[in-house]
Amino acid sequence: MSAEAHNDHAVDHHHDDHHGDDHDHGSFKTYLLGFFLSVVLTAIPFWLVMTGALPAATTGLIITAFAVVQIVVHMIFFLHMNHKSEGGWNMLALIFTIVVVVIAVAGSVWVMYHLNVNMMPTHDMQTMG
C-alpha cells in the first residue's frame, strides 16, 4: 500500500515539466556578449556627446544609429527573437508594430510640417491688428 501511495505522488510531480522547451533560452556566454555589446553601444554615443568631437547634427544621427543597433541587440540576445521563435509570429508582430509606428510618426511629421508652412507670417498678423 505504501508503494502505491509513493507511485501516486511521483505522478503528481510532473506539473513542473515545461511545454515547448525546444527553443533556446540563451546561455551565460550569450547574455554576457549581449551585455558587453549594450555597454559598448551606450559608451560610444556617451563619449561623443561629452567630448563634442563631432557637430551636433552628425552626433544626433550617430546616436540614432547606435540606438537602432542596440534595440536589435536587445531583441536578439535578451528577448531571443528570431524568425524561429513562436513559429515566426513574434517577428510578424514586430514588423507590424514597426509599420504602424513609422506610419504614425511620418504622418505626424507631415501634418506638423504643413501646419508650419500654412501659418500666417508675423508681419501680416501685426498689420491686421
Q: Running DSSP on this structure, what letter comes out for residue 114?
A: H
DSSP string, 28-80: HHHHHHHHHHHHHHHHHHHHHHHHT-S-HHHHHHHHHHHHHHHHHHHHHHTS-
| Domain assignment present for 9 | no
| Domain assignment present for 48 | yes
3-state secondary structure of 49: helix
Examine the domain organization and report whether 70 and 30 are in the same domain. Answer: yes
User: Domains in the chain: how many in total?
Assistant: 2
| Domain assignment present for 19 | no
Domain boundaries, position 120:
87-129
What is the pTM for the complete model shown? 0.61
| Domain assignment present for 8 | no
Examine the domain organization and report whether 75 and 29 are in the same domain. Answer: yes
78-124 pLDDT tens trace: 888 877 777 778 888 889 999 999 999 999 999 998 887 777 677 76
21-52 pLDDT tens trace: 555 677 899 999 999 999 999 999 999 999 99
The C-alpha cell that represents 77 in the structure block: 540576445
| Domain assignment present for 39 | yes
Radius of gyration of the chain (CA): 27
Q: For residue 23, what pLDDT is reported? A: 53
Residues 6+ apart with CB under 8 A from 84: 23
Examine the domain organization and report whether 49 and 68 are in the same domain. Answer: yes
